[in-house]
Structure 1
Amino acid sequence: MSDRIDLVLTLADDELILGWRNSEWTGIAPFLEEDVAFSSIAQNEIGHARALYELAARELGTDADALAFDRPPEEYRSAPLVELRRLEWARTIARHWLYETADAIRLAALKASDDEELAGIAAKIDREEVYHRIHAEMWIDRLLGSEDGRTRLDEALDELWPYALGMLDEELRPELVRRMEAKLGRDVPTAEPVPRGRHEAELAELLDEMTMVRRSAPAGARW
């Protein structure tokens, strides 16, 4: 498998798994507006995953559905950050912001790629991700606006920080550090990144849920 397709599947798997994780807030978010917001964000992420899977599928001689649903857990390239099962609200917001910030950094790098097709998809995804980043920033500002909110957010960010570092290649991590420290007005903790390839136990459980309908249909179900 080429490095290009490996990269495309990495992006797609992140978007797909996070989309399903965000959808877990549908119907139980603390506010009606957030129920709608996270449902919309989840739908966008899964849509991005589909576009990326379709790109990979053309080269691999398969289809997007097979790439999304038919691989064993160990073949997924998703970052452990997105695999963690539904978190309490402060940690959900922390992951939301960390992911969107890291994603913005890698999309910026991809938009500058000599691969015109990949750069074009990255640019399209980036335009649609603007809303996600605005939503995440709004919640970060809201939590930073109170002593209790800041305490809970800081705890959540410090806990998830090693996972966020593991989302990015080593050369992109300093920019994530810079953006986090600029927003929070404090140093980030020294941490060893949680790397890709070390899946959380929750991933296998999620994939079992995700593929239930497809496995129940004789010829597979299309998403």
Structure 2
Amino acid sequence: MSRRSDLLLELADDELILGWRDSEWTGIAPFLEEDVAFSSIAQNEIGHARALYELAAVELGTTADELAFDRAPADYRCAPLVELRRLEWARTIARHWLYETADAIRLESLRASGDRELAGLAAKLDREELYHRMHAEMWIDRLLAVEEGRQKLDDALEELWPYALGVLDDELRPELVHRVEERLGRPMPTVEPVRRGDHVAELGELLDEMTSVRRSAPGAQW
């Protein structure tokens, strides 16, 4: 597998798994507006995954459906940050913001790539991700505005920080540290990243749920 296809799968797997995780808030978010917002964000992420899988599939001689649903859990390239099931609001917001911040850095790098096809797709995704970043920033502002919210957010960020560092490679990771620390106005702890390949137990459970229709109707298309 080439580095290009590996990178495409990293991005696609991140977007697919996070989209499913975001969709878990549908019907149970703390506000009606957030039911709508997270459902919309989830749809966008899964749509982005589809576009990335299709690009990878051409290179790998397969289909987007097979890449999305037919691989073994160990073959997924997603970052552990997106795999975690966090049905608690402050932690969900912390993951949302950390991921979108890291993803913005990653897309900026890809937009400058000499690979015109990949750069063009990254530019398209970046335009659509702008809403996600605005939504995440709005919630960071709201949580930081009150002492209880700030404390809950700080606790969640401390917990998820090693996972967030694992979203980016060694070259891009320092920029994530810079942007997070600048936004929060304080240093983040120096910790080892939880890297890709170190899957959490929740991934297998999620993939079993995600692929149930595919397994019950072989040949079904996305």
TM-score where L is the length of structure 2: 0.99
1:11 and 1:79 map into 2 onto residues whose CA distance is 9
Q: Residue 83 of structure 1 aligns with which residue?
A: 83
What RMSD in Å do the two structures reach over aligned CA positions? Answer: 0.6
Q: Residue type matched to 1:25 in 2?
A: W
Match in the other structure for 1:221: 220
Q: TM-score, normalised by structure 1?
A: 0.98
What residue is the counterpart of 1:69 in the other structure?
Answer: 69
Q: Which runs of structure 2 are paired with 1:109-128 in the superposition (5 Å)?
A: 109-128=109-128
Instruction: Point out 4+ residue stretches in structure 1 off by more than 2 angstroms.
Output: none
> Which whole-Å deviations, capped at 9, do the CAs of 1:58-107 have from their partners, x for residues lacking one?
11111100000000000000000000013300000000000000000010
> 2:221, 2:30 → 1: CA distance?
32
- Partners in 2 of 1:160 and 1:107 — Cα distance? 21
Over the matched positions of the two proteins, sequence identity in percent amounts to 80
Q: CA deviation at 1:171?
A: 1.2
- 1:163 aligns to 2:163 (yes or no): yes
Give, in whole Å, the separation in 2 of the partners of 1:86 and 1:214.
25
Q: Please, which moves more after superposition, 82-91 or 124-133?
A: 82-91
- Structure 1 portions without partners, runs of 5+: none
AA partner of residue 9 (structure 2): L
In structure 1, how many angstroms separate the alpha carbons of the residues matched to 2:204 and 2:174? 31
Q: Offset at 1:135?
A: 0.1
Which residue in 1 is equivalent to 2:208? 208
Distance 1:11 1:138 in 2: 24
Rounded Cα–Cα distance in structure 2 between residues aligned with 1:148 and 1:83: 27
CA distance in 2, matches of 1:48, 1:40: 12
Question: Residues 141-175 of structure 1: CA distance to partner in whole angstroms, max 9, x if unpaired?
Answer: 00000011000000000100000000001111111
Equivalent residue, structure 2, for 1:58: 58
- Map 1:174-189 to 2 at 5 A: 174-189=174-189
